[in-house]
A and B are shown apart, each in its own frame.
Chain A
Amino acid sequence: MLFIVAATQAQTLQSFFDKYSNDERFEYVSVGKGMMNMANAFGGNIKNNDKMTSKMKSIKILTLKAESTSPLMKSVVNDIDQVVAKGNFESAVESREKGEMVHIYYRFSGKDDADMLIMTKERGEFSLIWINGKMTKEEMMHTFSNNGKAFDQMNNFNNEESKVS
């Protein structure tokens, strides 16, 4: 039963990527397990490269370059909002600043089988990054932390908050 639910969830997100990946108006990049094993594949972006990349199964990136008011952009955003709503995703981080927006969602489909969906909006560009792998929530949260230390800062803040309370 759990397997069927997991398969259905994955299929919804998969079907979204399938729908737009071959569309000429989009840019689509797929990174498989083979490239994950390359130690320098992600430069300094991912902390503990070897450990993290070995846990990742795939990365899919879909980019649309269009104005935020265009019908296509509205349609895509509407589609992905529905996928997120139906796919049991939880919101991890949401930030909006000077016309830029980053929203990170995550979900667990099975034992340590996780999906992380990163949605970014900036001037004239909308990107979706779907990372799939055998990761725990903590590991997923540390994916981006080497250069920007974004999640580290957030975690430190949360830890201090808990100490105070």
Chain B
Amino acid sequence: MEMMNELLEKYFRGETTLQDEKELKQYFSTGNVSSEHEIYRALFDVFRQELSETNVRPVSVALPDQKRIKRTWIQTFAFTGIAATLILLLWIQLPQYSDNYAVIGGTRINNAEYVQRYTEKKLTRVNHMLARSMKPMQSFSKVRKNMQPLQNLSDVRTKMDEIQNKLQFK
């Protein structure tokens, strides 16, 4: 009994060793606790209960919120980077189709120079065909141009008639 008193005094002074505390816990866990020590039973029962408790919450929940947000951002950046790299690789690997191409005999030709020459040839051909067809019009225009002095002569004649009429009136 005295030994227990000493141990309790040491415990409350904070001088007990682990072995001492073990002995105290064993003492209070058994049914042979003296009446004067009964008031401390509740204290050591709490210690015993705490020992039997297990943590049911996952570790990640216990992490501070700030750390979790930081990790989420890092993950987001990492996934975005990977996605961008994949898209870039696909874009480089995929064949590049332009609007300038020719299909001759069912075969696609992506040669810009060929396309350019083909187009030029066709447009020149149309131009020549039109020029030939419009040649009579050119001759007609020339005749009209050459007849312009005659039109001026007609104007002079009209003016002379007007003057003559005025003179006769006077």
Q: What residues of chain A have their CB less than 8 Å away from a CB belonging to chain B?
A: 21-24, 26-35, 38, 41-43, 45-46, 58-59, 61, 63, 93, 95-97, 100, 102, 118, 120, 122, 127, 129, 144, 146-151, 153-154, 156-157, 160, 164
Contact = CB atoms under 8 A, between A and B. Distances in A.
A118 B126 contact: yes
Q: Is the contact region of chain B dominated by helix, strand, or loop, or is it mixed?
A: helix
Contact of A23 (B106, B118, B140): B106
Contact of B98 (A23, A34, A45, A144): A34
A59 B10 CA distance: 102
B125 to A, nearest CB: 7
B115 interface: yes
B99 interface: yes
Contact of B100 (A32, A63, A146, A148): A32
Interface stretch (B15-23, B47-55, B131-139): B131-139
Q: How large is the interface on B (under 10, 10 to 19, 20 to 34, 35 or more residues)?
A: 20 to 34
11 contacts: A29-B101, A35-B99, A35-B116, A45-B120, A45-B123, A61-B119, A120-B126, A144-B126, A148-B127, A157-B141, A164-B144
Contacts of A120: 125-126, 129
A6 to B, nearest CB: 20
Nearest to A32: B99
A148 B123 contact: no
B141 A27 contact: no
Contacts of A24: 105-106
A22 B137 contact: no
A129 B123 CA distance: 9
B100 A35 contact: yes
A122 B125 CA distance: 11
A79 B123 CA distance: 23
Contact of B120 (A22, A42, A118, A146): A42
A27 B116 contact: no
B84 to A, nearest CB: 27
B99 A58 contact: yes
Interface in B106-154: 106, 112, 115-116, 118-120, 122-134, 137-138, 140-141, 144
A159 to B, nearest CB: 9
B127 A144 contact: yes
Contacts of A31: 99-100, 115-116, 119
B33 interface: no
Contacts of A32: 98-100
